Structure 1
Amino acid sequence: MPTAARLVAALCLGLLAFIVSRQVVPLMPEGTDFGYFFHINIILGLLTGWIFMGRRVGHGLVPAINNGLTGAAVMVLWALFIQGAWEMFDRAMRNRYGGPFDALLAILTLSLEYFFVIAVPTVLLPLIIGGCLAGLLAESIHKRWS
């Protein structure tokens, strides 16, 4: 059911995804083709905020912070998986894998490589702070408009 808290959670995580994506770009090797990187991450932020965070509001201050942190973590995990899968498909089209299991294993490997690239304070701090703020703002909107 659409609520103001779901909308606010979606918008907050979409904005957080955009900010964190901008922080990730300088960490990647030069010449990296980002293509739909920003679009995919923003859509993931919107969906995670709406589906995951939006239905878990209304339980108080500490659960709101936990909701925001969990929502940010879920968004990052989905983003890592989708970006790893996207890169795997790109490599698979150039016949780099010996079979389907090699390609599926590559998704995990690429996702872990991307995680180690982004596991720096310039990315993790905005994720933590933004996740907390998103959870608190969604909780505040829920209390005000419900």
Structure 2
Amino acid sequence: MPTAAKLFAAVAFALLAFFVAEILKPHMQQGTQFGYFSFYCMLIGLAVGWRVMGPAAGRGWWEAVNAGVRTAAVMLAVALLIFSIYKMLELAFLKRFDGPMDAVVGIFGVGVDYLMQILAWDVIAVLVVGGALAGILAEWAARRWK
């Protein structure tokens, strides 16, 4: 059921995902074509904010901070999985894998490569602080519009 807390959480995490995507771009390999990368990250943040943070709002301020950081981690994991699957499909169409199981295992290899590029202090700081602030915003909306 739609609530104000879910709406505020979805919008807050969509904005957080956009900012993280923009901060992440300099950390990626030289010559990477991003296309709609930030927009897709916003969609992931919107969905994860609605489904994970929205129901967790309304349980207290500290729980909101914890749920916000947890939602940011879930958002990162979902984005890594989606972009790793996309990269694996690109490599599979170029015949870089010997078989289907090699391609499935390749998802995790690509995901680990992306994770190593993401592990920078500025990206992690924006994720943690932004997740906490988005959680507080969702908690405020849950208390304001009960």
TM-score after normalising by structure 2: 0.97
Distance 1:5 1:133 in 2: 13
1:19 maps onto 2:12 in alignment = no
Distance 1:70 1:47 in 2: 14
Could you report, residue by residue, the CA deviation over 1:17-41 in whole angstroms, capped at 9, with x for unpaired residues?
Answer: 0000001111111111223322221
> 5 Å matches for 1:1-146?
1-146=1-146
Distance 1:29 1:65 in 2: 33
Distance 1:101 1:85 in 2: 13
Distance 1:34 1:108 in 2: 21
- Give 4+ residue runs of structure 1 displaced > 6 Å after superposition: none
Structure 2 unaligned segments of length 5 or more: list them.
none
TM-score after normalising by structure 1: 0.97
User: How far off its partner does 1:122 sit?
Assistant: 1.1
- Residue identity opposite 1:37 in structure 2: F
**Secondary structure at the counterpart of residue 30 of structure 2:** coil
* Identical columns (%): 42
Structural RMSD (CA) = 0.8
Distance 1:90 1:40 in 2: 17
**Secondary structure at the counterpart of residue 97 of structure 2:** coil
Distance 1:54 1:112 in 2: 29
**Secondary structure at the counterpart of residue 113 of structure 1:** helix
Most deviating of 61-70 and 30-39: 30-39
Distance 1:13 1:131 in 2: 7
